[in-house]
Amino acid sequence: MAQATMAKPKKKVSPSKNGSTAKAKKMTYYFGKTKTEGRGVSKEILGGKGANLAEMTSIGLPVPPGFTITTQVCAAYYDAGKKLPEGLLASITKNVKMLEKELGKKFGDLKNPLLVSVRSGAAVSMPGMMDTVLNLGLNDKSVRGLADATDNPRFAYDAYRRLINMYGNVVMDINHHLFEDEFAKIKRKYKVANDHDVPVEGMLELCEAYKAVFKKESGKPFPQDPMKQLELAVEAVFKSWNTSRAVKYRQLEGIHGLLGTAVNVQSMAYGNMGEDSGTGVAFTRDPSTGKNQFYGEFLINAQGEDVVAGIRTPLPFSDMKKWNKSVHKQLLDIKVILEKHYRDMQDIEFTIERGELFMLQTRTGKRTGPAAVKLACDMVKEKLITREEALLRIPADHLTQLLLPGFDPAARKQAKVLTKGLPASPGAAVGKLAFTAEEAVERTAAGETVLLVRTETSPEDIDGMHCAAGILTSTGGMTSHAAVVARGWGRCCVAGAGEIEINQKSRKALINGRLLTHKDTISIDGSTGEVYLGELKTIQPKLSGDFSTIMSWADKYRTLKIRTNADSPADAKKARDFGAEGIGLCRTEHMFFEEGRITSMREMILAEDEKSRRAALKKLLPFQRRDFEGIFKAMKGLAVTIRLLDPPLHEFLPHEAKAQKDLATELGVPVSQIKRRVKQLHEMNPMLGHRGCRLSISYPEILEMQVTAITEAAIKCKKQKIDIAVEIMIPLVGTQTELSILRQLTEETIAKVRQAKKFTGKLKLIIGTMIEIPRAALTADEVAKDADFFSFGTNDLTQMAFGYSRDDISGFLPDYLEQGVLLVDPFVSIDQTGVGQLVEFGVNKGRQTKPDLKIGICGEHGGDPDSIDFCHRVGLDYVSCSPYRVPIARLAAAQAALRHPKK
């Protein structure tokens, strides 16, 4: 959905005004056999996890009973200055009582104690970002009760030490290394290597040691009252909503406007009660390819977090059949039930306690771009969803992944495969090794391309993962942190490549006997899991039939035309292949930088008078004509919008002493002349200087040369029976008079060329302007009088409306995102609130003068789905974006049309 770029100040967004009424709202929702209150209650209130637990319970799936504390309670907690609202504890107590009754267990009971998990769950999934406490309800007494009830004292004490550890870590903020050190001591004492080889006595000692750590670090003994444990754990979950990690994650993911997190208190089911227990996660279809195949992993005798944390490498779902055939079948049945119910691929968590299956969670599964396309097509075929739903379900941005290059098969053959891991997130990435997130961030900022290579990743690594070209881990499976996050972003990832030994300290990796350092380059293939030595050549992917299907559906629904930004025949051709319906921006300045041209360009700039300027321009004319001819031919009659020279002239001159000397020699002028001109052209704020149409006002001969080249190329094409449709675009117009003067000059020049070439046929040549100066948007009614079309240059419009220099925004953008002044970089997604008003003025005032004025956008926003949605709503005729984003724009335009049908 289109979202406003700007944050309201936080204190106003949180429903502080509702604080008092929030108290009156229902705070908890029970789910279980007794009753299920939350069915149909929105995710905004119950969180995704809570809502789905209620749903699953309702449709009869085996869910351990429990209750959900709403996100509104979290908001009220923050509104009250981090205080749990009145009445919450009473409500929790009531629910616990109900739970005790349903399960026949009692909180803190000596014989058969009720144990619960406490988990966060916001409306939008934030995997691993917030906190969880398991086994809550255990204390020095009830642990004995659990031991008795399960007849498994080792399990009971293991559960207790886990509780103390998690509780200490989550609620009291005690460093988990302190607990791990104690565990290591015990293991040394009992001379065992693995955790589960520690005998029951060891576990007992461990619990005591953990309690000692707890007391030492927190200053208080471990709380023995289960209700107190629960209260503090609930508060800890609320607190975890606003850790910097969680805030950062929401920022990166563009998640905002949420009330807070819900808290799910659920009776425990144990996957670690022995060899007949286990735990697992699964996707109802392959989240990487979209293939309709139940896709899961499980660990025997383990608790859920063991799978997600990626510490042990799990078994594939296919292995389950041997281990427990009935559960295996039960899960396959549940897949069908869930997909029918939710009409989408699900990501589930389950636990098998002594052979009995419990569903702990279901949610819509994250998927790669290719998977999203295949799932959407398949589900339409299966009549699960409509075409419209299919289109709306694919995040347009994720199509990038289908268009990403892969490795060249020939290069692949010759390359050395170092090792192979799991194909966790598709794509091909090449880079040097970076061993920590910080290193990845720093070296990327310094201009290097790096792969983040870690034993495992954790939420602390988010920054480094985001900037790396790809991620490679040595442990963890397809559902490990690295894999899930990477897929979400469409970042290439190979996970669990167990043959790699990583030494983070010495910044070295040993792969099958080969030692690699931060200086080495490797290539990883996220679609196969292969890791290659050195840099492999990449090639363009072949697009699937499903992709074509989605594109053809999108084309049917969208009303926006899609053009591309292309400066060369090759780019033009590529964009046409992706479905571009014209060129919305052909920048002519790039043409001047090529060999053989730049010298004449510089000669023109150095010219002391109009005559020598014209002489130099004359040399550039044939080059420009040839370029335009090539582009016209590639576009075969589709519209080509050519922007006349835009950047300030100094950009074309050399600024280094050596280059200046070379130029002087080449042109046969004293170097002092070049230095003088460079100095003369220097500007304090070149962005706001002598550029764009201002150049043509000062030096009309530049415009004349460019328009001559365009017209000559157009006539040449027409004489060869090649259709052309050219739109001459005058940049940086701020006043009608500029456009009026330059339009007249353009028309006169065209007429001169026609006369010189004796061409009297029809030429589709229209003249328009970019709307990129705020004043042009404000006076668009006047500007339109001399324009056949408008094209919004929202990059510059954003620069000037905000007063942000794109080149300098890095000085404060991080602070602005951090403090929520900006929710997204306004150069990535258009600021609909402010810049958007200027666009609307431009459209409305322009069409007030000329109702049929053709209007498009050619800034980089033209490839951003949210911005495309905005463009659709304000009534643009087309968007123009880079060739690779054309498919994204086609889909986003269709989604916009579906969301906002024209009346």
The answer to whether 481 is a known catalytic residue is yes
Smallest gap from Cβ 448 to its own copies, in A, equals 20
Out of 400, 455, 521, 805, the only residue in the binding site for its own copies (CB under 8 A) is 805
Q: What is the DSSP letter of 637?
A: T
Q: What is the DSSP letter of 6?
A: B
What's the rounded Cα separation, in Å, for the pair 35 and 40? Answer: 14
Is residue 779 near its own copies by the rule CB under 8 A?
yes
Out of 34, 175, 318, 819, the only residue in the binding site for its own copies (CB under 8 A) is 819
Nearer to its own copies, 521 or 805 (CB): 805
**Interface region with its own copies, contact rule CB under 8 A, candidates 380-388, 536-544, 545-553, 779-787:** 779-787
Nearer to its own copies, 299 or 773 (CB): 773
Structural contact between residues 493 and 287, judged by C-beta atoms closer than 8 angstroms: no
CA-to-CA separations, 114 to 62, 97, 124, 142, 149, in angstroms, rounded: 18, 10, 29, 9, 11
Is residue 807 near its own copies by the rule CB under 8 A?
yes
What's the rounded Cα separation, in Å, for the pair 818 and 827? Answer: 17
Residue type, 226: P
Smallest gap from Cβ 198 to its own copies, in A, equals 45
CA-to-CA separations, 880 to 547, 612, 820, in angstroms, rounded: 21, 37, 30
- Closest by CA position to 453, among listed 392, 531, 389, 550: 531
Which of 467, 586, 858, 881 is labelled catalytic?
858
Q: Where are the beta strands (DSSP E) in 100-215?
A: 106-107, 113-114, 116-122, 132-136
The answer to whether 493 is a known catalytic residue is no
Smallest gap from Cβ 296 to its own copies, in A, equals 44
What's the rounded Cα separation, in Å, for the pair 641 and 232? Answer: 63
Nearer to its own copies, 470 or 774 (CB): 774
Helix (H) / strand (E) element for 755: namely helix 736-756
Out of 189, 414, 808, 828, the only residue in the binding site for its own copies (CB under 8 A) is 808
Smallest gap from Cβ 714 to its own copies, in A, equals 26
Long-range CB contacts (within 8 A, 24+) of 505-509: 507/433, 507/435, 507/439, 509/433, 509/435, 509/453
**Interface region with its own copies, contact rule CB under 8 A, candidates 306-314, 708-716, 828-836, 887-895:** 828-836
**Interface region with its own copies, contact rule CB under 8 A, candidates 262-270, 586-594, 768-776, 860-868:** 768-776
Per-position b or e across 576-599, b if 16+ CB within 10 A of its CB: bebbbbbbbbbbbeebbeeeebbe
Smallest gap from Cβ 813 to its own copies, in A, equals 10
Site mask for its own copies (CB under 8 A), range 686-705, x = bound:
xxxxx---x--xx-------
**Interface region with its own copies, contact rule CB under 8 A, candidates 139-147, 445-453, 591-599, 733-741:** 733-741
Out of 734, 862, 883, 887, the only residue in the binding site for its own copies (CB under 8 A) is 734
Nearer to its own copies, 511 or 702 (CB): 702
**Stated length of the chain:** 903
**Interface region with its own copies, contact rule CB under 8 A, candidates 164-172, 406-414, 545-553, 814-822:** 814-822
- Closest by CA position to 871, among listed 560, 512, 531: 560
Those residues with Cβ within 8 angstroms of residue 668's Cβ, 6 or more apart along the chain or in another chain: none
Nearer to its own copies, 635 or 703 (CB): 703
CA-to-CA separations, 63 to 28, 117, 136, 227, 308, in angstroms, rounded: 18, 13, 18, 23, 20
* Owner of token pair 């299956």: 357
Smallest gap from Cβ 83 to its own copies, in A, equals 21
What's the rounded Cα separation, in Å, for the pair 238 and 47? Answer: 13
Smallest gap from Cβ 592 to its own copies, in A, equals 20
Nearer to its own copies, 58 or 837 (CB): 837
Out of 42, 503, 665, 737, the only residue in the binding site for its own copies (CB under 8 A) is 737
- Closest by CA position to 728, among listed 875, 588, 880: 588
Out of 153, 274, 834, 875, the only residue in the binding site for its own copies (CB under 8 A) is 834
Is residue 312 near its own copies by the rule CB under 8 A?
no
Structural contact between residues 248 and 463, judged by C-beta atoms closer than 8 angstroms: yes
Is residue 256 near its own copies by the rule CB under 8 A?
no
Helix (H) / strand (E) element for 697: namely helix 693-698
Smallest gap from Cβ 650 to its own copies, in A, equals 10
What's the rounded Cα separation, in Å, for the pair 84 and 416? Answer: 59
Instruction: Give the pairing of strands 116-122 and 530-533.
Output: unpaired
Smallest gap from Cβ 617 to its own copies, in A, equals 18
Out of 307, 838, 855, 891, the only residue in the binding site for its own copies (CB under 8 A) is 838
Smallest gap from Cβ 778 to its own copies, in A, equals 5
Out of 811, 844, 848, 900, the only residue in the binding site for its own copies (CB under 8 A) is 811
Q: By CB neighbour count within 10 A (0-12 exposed, 13-18 middle, 19+ buried), where does 9 fall?
A: exposed
Is residue 738 near its own copies by the rule CB under 8 A?
yes
Cβ atoms within 10 A of the Cβ of 828, count?
13
Nearer to its own copies, 424 or 739 (CB): 739
The torsion angles phi and psi of 504, rounded to 5 degrees, stand at -65, -35
Smallest gap from Cβ 534 to its own copies, in A, equals 35
Structural contact between residues 264 and 119, judged by C-beta atoms closer than 8 angstroms: yes
Is residue 804 near its own copies by the rule CB under 8 A?
yes
Is residue 644 near its own copies by the rule CB under 8 A?
no
Smallest gap from Cβ 828 to its own copies, in A, equals 16
**Interface region with its own copies, contact rule CB under 8 A, candidates 65-73, 522-530, 792-800, 846-854:** 792-800
Structural contact between residues 813 and 751, judged by C-beta atoms closer than 8 angstroms: no
**Interface region with its own copies, contact rule CB under 8 A, candidates 413-421, 513-521, 729-737, 850-858:** 729-737
Is residue 3 near its own copies by the rule CB under 8 A?
no
Nearer to its own copies, 621 or 697 (CB): 697
Which of 328, 466, 481, 861 is labelled catalytic?
481
Nearer to its own copies, 4 or 149 (CB): 4
Structural contact between residues 642 and 629, judged by C-beta atoms closer than 8 angstroms: no
Out of 332, 778, 817, 898, the only residue in the binding site for its own copies (CB under 8 A) is 778
- Closest by CA position to 649, among listed 603, 611, 615, 596: 603
Please give the distance of CA 773 from its chain centroid, rounded to a whole number. 30
- 487 is written with which tokens? 């897929």
**Interface region with its own copies, contact rule CB under 8 A, candidates 38-46, 468-476, 490-498, 769-777:** 769-777
Q: Which residues are catalytic?
A: 481, 858
Residue ranges binding its own copies (CB under 8 A): 6-9, 11-12, 683-690, 694, 697-698, 732, 734-738, 740-741, 772-775, 778-779, 782, 786, 796, 799-805, 807-808, 811-812, 815-816, 819-822, 831, 833-835, 837-838
